[in-house]
Amino acid sequence: MSPSESSRTDAGQPALPSRTHLERLEAEAIHIMREVAASFENPVMMYSIGKDSSVMLHLARKAFYPGRIPFPLLHVDTTWKFREMIAFRDRVAKEYDLDLLVHTNEEGVRQNVNPFDHGSAYHTDVMKTAALKQALDKYKFDAAFGGARRDEEKSRAKERVFSFRTAQHRWDPKNQRPELWNLYNTRVRPGESIRVFPISNWTELDIWQYLYQEEIEIVPLYFAARRPVVRRFDQWILVDDDRIPLRPGEEPEMKMVRFRTLGCYPLTAAVESTATTLPEIVQEMLLAKTSEREGRIIDFDQSGSMEKKKQEGYF
Amino acid sequence: MSTPNDPAESGNTDIAAYLRHQHETGLLRFITCGSVDDGKSTLIGRLLWDSKLIYEDQLAALTADSKRVGTQQGGIDYALLLDGLEAEREQGITIDVAYRFFSTDRRKFIVADTPGHEQYTRNMVTGASNAEAAVILVDAAAVSREGGLLAQTKRHSYLVSLVGIRHVVLAVNKMDLVGYDEALFREITDAYRAFSAPLGFPDIRAIPVSALRGDNVMERSANMPWYKGPTLLDYLETVDVEDARAQLPFRFPVQLVQRPDSAFRGFAGTVASGAVRPGDEVAVAASGEKANIDRIVTMSGDLDVAVAGDAVTLTLSREIDVSRGDVLAAPQARPSIADQFKAHLVWLHAEPLLPGRMYPLKSGTDTAPAQVTELKARVNINTLAEEAAKTLEMNEVGLANLALGKDIAFDPFSENAATGNFILIDRETNATVAAGMIQHALRRATNIHWQAVTVNKAARAQNMAQRPRCVWFTGLSGSGKSTIADIVEKRLHAMGRKTYLLDGDNVRHGLCRDLGFTDADRVENIRRIAEAARLMVDAGLIVICSFISPFRAERKLARSLMEDGEFLEVFVDTPLSVCEARDPKGLYRRARAGELPNFTGIDSPYEAPEGPELRIDGAAMTPEEAAERVLELILR
């Protein structure tokens, strides 16, 4: 987005333009990304392939234009992501000449940890949280960008933009560094790290609007299409491959569905929808009566569960 | 901006128009301040509720929570929408800054929800630092009961003024509990205006509300026909915060230098204040070197103008020396350049301020070591009185002189908040310990020197971020003392510790060159070394002494010169036979031949330590293993 046109006063003197809320949020995110690139030795950007990651990637390209993004992107692959996500990831990495790292918890793969036999909590813990910690330890990143937003969940509303993690990757909500003005404290000791959330102050609507205005490409799963699904726990689950065990008498049916959030396909429910364009998605969203993370099964395990996961190192 | 998708293509003109309109909305960041009981969380919950930003699943959780821990007798407790962290929910208080989002057709809002509890000044200052307006909540029923404004209201107002917020809403809440009494509202308003006059807010708007019932929050209250002013939301939608920063002189702290190839050299950063256009002349604040703006580069295309808040990349007409930390500024209105200034400090950390201690300072994109050379006063945030103080504890505000290790560019905070602020960081833990707002530079004439404070061992040690030690190696010649001591020093040095190694080589040729090897001379030798070691420990160093030092009494003397725990005696216990077999300098051979009289172990005694801090088996352990043990002892 280029800042709004400046208006001109009667005297012909150019008046100073005022900025819209998205322009201000964009500038804030770019400032944060540059601060990290300038202050840390070994930063990384978490890349989940979702719409927020698409926005983050776009912001990073802007932050370092005309240069290349000066840090790698890391995708933690649980091996249960939608196939279209992986195809999208690989194509985007090529198109933008990204330094893409993919990490999978090989120990979890050997033990065949999966969401069907082990449940969402254990699967997430092993294939996502533990895998993430493995990757951070392996590459010794001292800063990791995440696309979390404060409007998503209550514990996130209190997290800093620069969120300190101990050498064990733990978050201590009682002992966060005060964050003043745009003066971010980037200092860490060896082994410690900072999780950085440049789009903390964006809302879900802001994300969609920005994707629309900037014409940013997202995984097609966000748009409604006829897809094979089964009904589980009152939610539509995509039959993305033949690893999903069908119950006796269960037949995948073709439904017009889309996804409001993307993760592991067995843990991410589809919603019935006819929205095939961004404006239609926004329109559906404005009429929606459920919040975005509802489609994510992991948040509901227990009251305050996101806060617990975050303390243990989940993003 | 990029061309919007064709509305016709999307099949829905209404939504396209909606999206275009959304793109025109502005942004207001505001903070709400109030005590636990003022109804602050309820007010924000109400704003989210009324602007339809609560989803059904959130509502279900809210209804369940309201039944479980709610305070509204089965009714919906809006406050529970906000109290995020589990421990806080059970305590019933918000203990940190939480950010909330809502929007109307005119503006998007980011609300910093901060606690009013006295201990959490730091959180309020944190939340207020990015706010353009403040909503200060007053509990009308409490004022009526107490017979005046509460101390916390004064405290909140002072802190809001301290961080430079200009627009204040006095939200007189719980009007439903006082019968919507106009006289009481006037009384509270008058008292507040009188109290806050010295704080100099240019804009104060008092609004009578009931957050719980919704009066004058979004909907005009039918219960208070006597109130003719805007509702709270009306005010927040229209308050003119039109960036005053854009009218100030141009400031551009450089974040990083972009050099993708040899043809392009750009300076990336965010415009802190003012505006800049291609062709404008700018000066590097520190060096005074000037150049003209060539291009304002963004990925969406070059800009005609960049204003305060814009994140851009500037290229210059000619090559001048610019790097991260430099400030590009309007040449006719440059920032101050100084290494000393007077500033307000808000102490944010449980470890109190230590005047004289070195704290890394960050201001803009620049950093410098800083120390408080003089704490002028502590401000009593309830009475605004200035009091004498030796230190600042967490949540205290003070006025101090600071001295930096180098010049930085800044403006007085009252003139330009974006370039007049800074944070202080703890050098050891890296915690953010203070927020600072610069008053003015201190001139050379009133110079307060960098080391003007009383500097003692503790201060020096803190500065060096280490505990001073005297590590005393004793043992026979050839026992391996020096080899181990050498490894220990190298390892400490690699860790950034400040060390000094005293051994025969650097002592016998100078300090003790008049001494021989009689028992009396040996005693004097060790006394001098011990005294030298004491001075070095006093200087904050980790001193490593490697001497045969055969007599218990002299080692005891050395120990007595140090504080408890500073003296670490390491006995390198290697049998004489092993030492003699090693004989690295051929001394044993010469001693046996009678060429070296009074040689320890041959014709002069060695008194083994009775209670050393560490005993090394010099025959069984490698020097590396031994050094590891010693390091564990030192760093314990």
Domain residue ranges of chain B, discontinuous segments joined by +: 7-238, 248-329, 336-454, 463-635
Q: Which of residues 377-436 of B touch A (CB under 8 A)?
A: 417-418, 421-423, 425, 430-432, 435
User: Residue B10 pLDDT > 50, yes or no?
Assistant: no
Burial state string for B182-209 with b = 16 or more CB within 10 A and e = fewer than 16: eebbebbbeebeebbeeeebeebbbbbb
Domains B248-329 and B336-454 alike in fold: yes
Contact A147, A46 (CB under 8 A): yes
Token pair recorded at residue A246: 């069908």
Residue A190: strand, helix, or coil = coil
- B409: which strand partners? B337
Is residue B83 pLDDT above 90, yes or no? no
Q: Are B302 and B260 in contact (CB under 8 A)?
A: no
In this structure, the strands spanning B432-441 and B397-410 are unpaired
Distance from CA of A238 to the nearest CA of B (A): 22
Query: Does the distance separating the beta carbons of A181 and B418 come in below 8 Å?
Result: yes
What is the nearest CA distance from A301 to chain B, expressed in angstroms? 13
Report, as an integer, the average pLDDT of B504-512. Answer: 83
Please confirm, yes or no, whether B549 is among the known catalytic residues. yes
Burial class (CB in 10 A: 0-12, 13-18, 19+), B501: buried
Q: For A37-45, what is the mean pLDDT? A: 96
Q: What is the C-alpha to C-alpha distance for residues A296 and A263, in angstroms, rounded to an integer?
A: 8
Within 13 Å, how many C-alpha atoms sit on residue B395's CB side? Answer: 13
Is the per-residue pLDDT at B448 higher than 70?
A: no
Thinking of the domain B7-238, which architecture would CATH place it in?
A: 3-Layer(aba) Sandwich (3.40)
User: How far is the alpha carbon of B595 from chain A, nearest alpha carbon, in Å?
Assistant: 54
**Percent of chain B residues past pLDDT 70, beyond the cut:** 87
Tokens of B13: 């003109």
> Which of A134-138, B96-100, B205-209, B522-526 is predicted least confidently?
B96-100
CATH number of B336-454: 2.40.30.10
Q: Which of B404, B555, B372, B534 is nearest to B475 (CA)?
A: B555
Residue B42 main-chain phi, psi, to 5 deg? -65, -40
Q: Which of B4, B110, B300 sits opposite A201 (nearest CB)?
A: B110
- The sign one gets for the Cα dihedral A200, A205, A210, A211 is positive
Instruction: Give the pLDDT mean for B38-58.
Output: 72
Residues sharing a CB contact under 8 Å with residue B352, sequence separation 6 or more, in sequence order: B391, B392, B393, B394
The answer to which of A85-89, A149-153, B529-533 has the lowest mean pLDDT is A149-153
**CA-to-CA distance for A76 and A135, rounded, in angstroms?**
8
**Partner-chain contact B313 A289, CB within 8 Å:** no
Q: What is the mean pLDDT of chain A?
A: 86
Cα angle: B132, vertex B138, B143; to 5 degrees:
155
Shortest CA distance to A173 belongs to which of A160, A186, A192? Answer: A160
Q: If pLDDT is split at 50, 70 and 90, which confidence band does B87 have?
A: very low
The C-alpha atoms of residue B4 and residue B599 are separated, in whole angstroms, by 93
Bridge partner list, B199: none
Q: May I ask the CATH architecture of the domain B248-329?
A: Beta Barrel (2.40)
Nearest to B84 among A155, A176, A200 (CB): A155
Domain A21-205+306-312 is in which class? alpha beta
> Cα distance from B217 to chain A (closest Cα, Å)?
22
Report the DSSP pairing between strands B311-316 and B432-441.
Answer: unpaired
Kindly tell me if the per-residue pLDDT of A6 is higher than 50: no
For the domain covering B463-635, report its CATH number.
3.40.50.300
Q: Is the pLDDT of residue A270 over 70?
A: yes
Give me the residue spans of the domains in chain A. Answer: 21-205+306-312, 219-298
Choose the most confident range, by mean pLDDT, from A14-28, A86-100, A229-243, B440-454. Answer: A86-100
pLDDT at B85 over 60: no
B55 or B186: which carries more pLDDT confidence? B186
Chain segment A199-249, per-residue pLDDT in tens: 999 988 899 999 999 999 999 999 999 999 999 888 899 999 888 888 888
Do residues A240 and A82 touch, judged by C-beta distance below 8 A? yes
Of B262, B549, B577, B604, the catalytic one is B549
Rounded to the nearest 10 degrees, how much is the dihedral formed by the CA atoms of B89, B90, B91, B96? -30
Supply the pLDDT for residue A87: 96
Q: What percent of chain B has pLDDT over 90?
A: 53
Q: What is the mean pLDDT of chain B?
A: 86
Shortest CB distance from A187 goes to which of B86, B348, B430?
A: B430
Q: Phi, psi at residue B596, to the nearest 5°?
A: -120, 95
Q: B548-602, pLDDT tens digit by residue?
A: 998 888 888 888 888 888 999 999 999 999 999 998 888 899 888 888 888 888 8
CA-nearest of B448, B431, B455 to B351 is: B431
- pLDDT over threshold 90, residue A144: yes
Bond into A66 cis (ω within 30): yes
Helix/strand/coil for B461 = helix
Ramachandran angles phi, psi of A164, nearest 5°? -70, 140
Quickly tell me which residue has 């002072």 as its tokens.
B158
Question: Which chain B residues are closer than 8 Å to A68 by Cβ?
Answer: 260
Gap between the Cα atoms of B596 and B602, Å rounded: 10
Q: Higher pLDDT residue, B138 or B597?
A: B138
Name the burial class of residue B477, with classes exposed (0-12), middle (13-18) and buried (19+) by CB atoms within 10 angstroms of its CB: buried
**pLDDT given for residue B8 in this prediction:** 36
What whole-number distance in Å separates Cα of residue B341 and Cα of residue B355? 15
What pLDDT is recorded for position B11? 44
Q: Which residue has the higher pLDDT, B250 or A282?
A: B250
- At residue A213, what is the residue type? Q
Nearest to B608 by CA among B550, B538, B556: B550
Q: What is the mean pLDDT of residues B505-515?
A: 84
Other residues' Cβ atoms within 10 Å of the Cβ of residue B503: 17
Q: Are B592 and B579 in contact (CB under 8 A)?
A: no
Q: What integer is the mean pLDDT of B452-470?
A: 79
pLDDT at A264 over 80: yes
Nearest CA in chain B to A158: B98
Check pLDDT > 90 for residue A309.
no
Q: What is the pLDDT of residue B58?
A: 62
Condensed to tens digits (0 to 9), the pLDDT of residues B398-410 reads: 999 999 988 999 9
Query: Do residues B401 and B355 touch, judged by C-beta distance below 8 A?
Result: no
Confidence label for B69 from pLDDT (cuts 50, 70 and 90): low
Q: Would you list the DSSP string of B118-156?
A: GGGHHHHHHHHTT-SEEEEEEEHHHHHHHTS--HHHHHH
Q: Is the pLDDT of residue B65 over 60?
A: yes
> Where is average pLDDT lowest: A23-37, B60-74, B370-384, B516-530?
B60-74
Q: Say yes or no: B496 contacts chain A, CB-CB below 8 A.
A: no
Burial profile B60-78: b = 16 or more Cβ within 10 angstroms, e = fewer: ebbbebbeeebeeeeebbb
Residue of chain B whose alpha carbon sits nearest to that of A60: B299
Across the range A290-311, mean pLDDT stands at 52
Return d(Cα B320, Cα A223) in angstroms, integer: 50
Poorest-pLDDT segment among A68-72, A96-100, A255-259, B57-61 = B57-61
- Contact at CB, A279 and B259, closer than 8 angstroms: no
For A65, the closest of B55, B299, B360 (CB atoms) is B299
